[in-house]
Amino acid sequence: MALEPAVTDLERLKDHPAVAALLAWNAGAVQGGKFDRNELSIFIAREFILGACEKLKAQGLVNFLSDLTCADYYPRAPRFELAYHLLSHQRKERIRLKIALEGDDAAVESITSVWPSANFFERELFDLFGIHFLGHPNLKRIMMPEDWEGHPLRKDYPVEGYR
Amino acid sequence: MGHLETTPVLDSEQDKTMILNMGPQHPSTHGVLRLVLEIDGEEIIRLIPDIGFLHTGIEKTCEAKFYQQVVPLTDRIDYLCPMINNLCYVLAAEKLLGLEIPPRAQWIRVMLSELQRISSHLVWLGTHALDLGAMSVFLYCFREREDLLRIYEMVSGQRMMTSYFRIGGLALDPPLGFFDSVKNFLDMFSERVDEYEDLLTGNRIFIDRLKGVAHLSAEDALAMGVTGPALRASGVDWDLRRDMPYSGYENFKFKVPVSQDGDVWARYVCRIEELRQSREIAKQALEGLPEGPTKAEAPKVVLPDREKMKTQMEALIYHFKIVTEGFTVPAGEVYQAIESPRGEMGYYIVSDGTAKPMRVHMRSPSYANLQALSKMCEGRLIADVVAAIGSIDIVLGEIDR
């Protein structure tokens, strides 16, 4: 099974119900799309992520938040890419929403109002990446001690830690 | 003489409740979980889980290893079912690489995954019953688990940290006598499950401790991110093995137990039935096992056989290259999820085209399931917390990572 080239052209992806629904809702919010290795990613502008989640959930296109995580592309800018893995039990399909965040302004709206399960995932990202989630009910460190300095999963944090 | 100091008065509102620490060293928290309980007498007002005591930074360590070196790290996430974690990681890496796995390897993977599910559920059953005062079930469960650990040792040389599934297939074809051992175990296991049920299912004390306790509705379970048997016990008919099959699960016939009750008892019933269903799947895998290779045709990724290495120049070169500098993986990102005994285990891997992963994230089922604990326990008694923790079957290794 050879890898097929990724489809990154939004025109070719707009037949997908989730892409169509988001474009119909707010074409300015959708920055791009990617269909690679049988997985669909939709790039959303940062300020619209909460609305996009609400929209997809309200339309019944997804109903479950599987995972929320982040990757640090340091030293590239924008530095962080958040990946929201959404699942539809009915359609048996996953959708990945992605947003990009700058290193010096790593803040985004919390989606705990849509899926309360985002609570722990967002706390983990706050702890290990230093990303702020606005409107989170309890944004505190979860893995590291409260008085820990730095965010260990950032690429400029050494693997052995500071000595 | 000034005024007499007035005696301090208890502020009736503020002092009505008490804060109680449960854990991190409490035996029934199944690891180092600390729960902060605000209680009014015996009744729980609030329950706040405090985690992170086992945090070892595995995700960070993965970024400094070659792809094949990450496999042993995944064993240590969820130490009750290491092979299922291996499976999830290697499936994700294979998806990144675009590798096709031979059917024999896939079937052996399914067989061993189901045996792992059985041994993980046995630990759950034993400790859950022990927490609630049924001592002998624990001994019975660990007796069968011991048989399974011997089977894992046969196949991988290790009882627990097996690292048997590799990117591109299996480490080796299973040794002589392995399939006989599996067959003996499966033949005997059905009766053993009956034995556990004789001890627990009709037991009045056990039923009273479980029925109606720690109720969770389907809406709450979905909102809290609950997956696995805990979700199915709340009435959501969802199993990744059946609904989004991976590693050849579409070839197997099995039932997915679902209950509408949503209490601890329902979770118990679902898991007991899963023990029987896992046995069925493993039996089908054993009986229909195809012949053929157990490694993919990908010399740049899969280590060559020992024999070839000694006789063929090419094989020796590939071996040297894989061991010293790893193999590059085309850039991209994948999320691969599988059904672990606790729920949806997912690996998110980002590759930047080098031999080391840029990011490995583990979506561990216990981490999300733990969020539902507060909802389950609030307004109930302290003793019910013990039953509730047992019923979501958490493993702190994968929560803290």
Is the pLDDT assigned to residue A159 strictly greater than 70?
Answer: yes
Homologous superfamily in CATH for domain B49-400: Cytochrome-c3 Hydrogenase, chain B (1.10.645.10)
In this prediction, what percent of chain A has a pLDDT beyond 70?
98
Burial of B187 (0-12, 13-18, 19+ CB in 10 A): exposed
CA-to-CA dists, residue A103 to A49, A158, B302, B357, angstroms: 18, 17, 38, 21
Contacts of B60 in chain A (CB under 8 A): 152-153, 157, 159
What SS3 state is found at B183? helix
Planar angle of CA B183, B186, B189, nearest 5 degrees: 150
Do residue B224 and residue A116 have CB atoms under 8 angstroms apart? yes
Going by pLDDT thresholds of 50, 70 and 90, the confidence category of residue A4 is: confident
**What tens-digit pLDDT sequence spans chain B (401 residues)?**
556 666 666 666 667 888 888 878 877 777 788 889 898 888 898 899 998 888 988 999 999 999 999 999 999 888 888 999 999 999 999 999 988 899 999 999 999 999 999 999 999 999 999 888 888 999 999 999 999 999 999 998 888 888 899 998 898 889 988 999 999 999 999 999 998 998 888 888 889 888 888 888 999 999 999 999 999 999 999 999 999 999 889 999 999 999 998 899 999 999 999 999 999 999 999 999 999 888 888 888 898 888 888 899 999 999 999 999 989 999 999 999 999 999 999 999 999 989 999 999 999 999 999 999 988 888 888 888 888 988 988 888 888 88
Find, in chain B, the residue whose alpha carbon is nearest to that of A141: B52
Helix (H) or strand (E) holding B192: helix B178-200
Q: Retrieve residue A4's tokens.
A: 């097929």
> How many beta-carbon pairs below 8 A join chains A and B?
97
Range(s) of chain B covered by CATH 1.10.645.10: 49-400
Please report the pLDDT score of residue B92 as a whole number: 93
Measured in angstroms, the CA of B368 and the nearest CA of chain A are apart by: 7
E strands of chain A, at which residues?
Answer: 30-36, 39-44, 64-72, 80-88, 93-101, 107-109, 132-134
**Residue among A82, A129, A142 with most chain B CBs within 10 A, to mutate:** A142
- Distance of alpha carbon B326 from alpha carbon A83, whole angstroms: 27
What do you get for the CA distance between the two ends of chain B, in Å? 63
pTM of the model: 0.91
pLDDT in tens, A42-85: 999 888 999 999 988 998 889 999 999 999 998 888 899 999 99
Please report the pLDDT score of residue B108 as a whole number: 92
- Distance of alpha carbon B370 from alpha carbon A123, whole angstroms: 14
* Contact present, B38 and B46 (Cβ < 8 Å): yes
Contacts of B337 in chain A (CB under 8 A): 66, 94
**Highest-confidence segment of A17-21, A25-29, B316-320:** B316-320
**Residue among B359, B371, B399 with most chain A CBs within 10 A, to mutate:** B359
Q: Domains of chain A, with CATH numbers?
A: 10-104 (3.30.460.80)
Please report the pLDDT score of residue A163 as a whole number: 66
Nearest to B38 by CA among B395, B399, B385: B385
